[in-house]
Amino acid sequence: MWLFEANFCSANDGLCKNNGTCLDTITGYNCSCKMFYKGEHCEQELYHVIMTTARIWGYARIYCQSIGGDLAAWGMRNATVRNSIIDNLLRPGSIYLIGLSDLDQEGVWKYVDGVAMTTNNTDFAIGQPDNYGSGFGSGQDCAWLYPSLNFQMDDGWCTQYALAICERILN
Ligand SMILES: [Ca+2]
Ligand SMILES: [Ca+2]
């Protein structure tokens, strides 16, 4: 039996699309994608749309789906992408809903694409999520980026009108 060292990257030009970097591994290769690309071969381009009309979380989600996407999830998990959106696209003083909630089960946070929250894929401000208001009425189950918290994440009320960040994959 023979085992040859894999050299996929140099043997297969252009494996990683959109200027992604090809990295050989023992058994194959991985593509390291540029900022707004994902997929095994960086073939998917992520496109973000900043909503300019305030909506409640549920209607914001429906709006994002109506333009072929959903509330931002992947781009919110990736700190580089998230910070780029915050720095370049958000209006100071506005609240922006994102695709993260604990609507299904209190305290269990999940992105709209099904990915569970971890400390590495979220950026909640200190003391958040706090489910503020529970006991008076419903607590807070829908995440937003909050301006006075340097656009860190905070759990907010799903019934409050706010702007939102949509995300869709091109191709
Ligand atoms: Ca909650
Ligand atoms: Ca909160």
Q: Is residue 2 part of a domain?
A: no
Q: Per-residue pLDDT tens, the chain, 171 aa: give them.
A: 555 666 889 888 899 999 999 999 888 899 999 999 999 999 999 999 999 999 999 999 999 999 999 999 999 999 999 999 999 999 999 999 999 999 999 999 999 999 999 999 999 999 999 999 887 778 999 999 999 999 999 999 999 999 999 999 987
Greatest CA separation found in the chain?
Answer: 70
102 CA → ligand 2 middle, Å: 12
Q: Is residue 129 part of a domain?
A: yes
Q: Give the whole-number percent of the chain exceeding pLDDT 90.
A: 85
169 CA → ligand 2 middle, Å: 29
156 CA → ligand 2 middle, Å: 5
DSSP label at 15?
-
Which ligand has the minimum distance to the alpha carbon of residue 141?
1
d(C-alpha 85, C-alpha 6), whole Å:
38
- The backbone region for 133, taken as left when phi is positive above 0, alpha when psi lies in -120 to 50, beta otherwise, is left
Residues 112 and 33 in one domain: no
Residues 30 and 83 in one domain: no
Q: Cβ contacts of residue 87 below 8 Å, gap of 6+?
A: none
Q: Is residue 1 part of a domain?
A: no
Residues 104 and 163 in one domain: yes
pLDDT tens per residue, range 109-150: 999 999 999 999 999 999 999 999 887 778 999 999 999 999
Which ligand has the minimum distance to the alpha carbon of residue 109?
1
67 CA → ligand 2 middle, Å: 29
Which domain range does residue 148 map to? 45-170
C-alpha distances (whole Å) from 83 to each of 36, 90, 105 are 12, 10, 28
C-alpha distances (whole Å) from 140 to each of 23, 77, 135 are 43, 20, 11
115 CA → ligand 2 middle, Å: 21
C-alpha 152: how far from its chain's center? 13
Residues 13 and 57 in one domain: no
Is residue 94 within 8 Å of 147, Cβ to Cβ? yes
Alpha-helical regions (H) of the chain = 8-11, 57-66, 74-77, 79-89
Residues 89 and 13 in one domain: no
CATH number at residue 98: 3.10.100.10
Residues 29 and 98 in one domain: no
Number of domains in the chain: 2
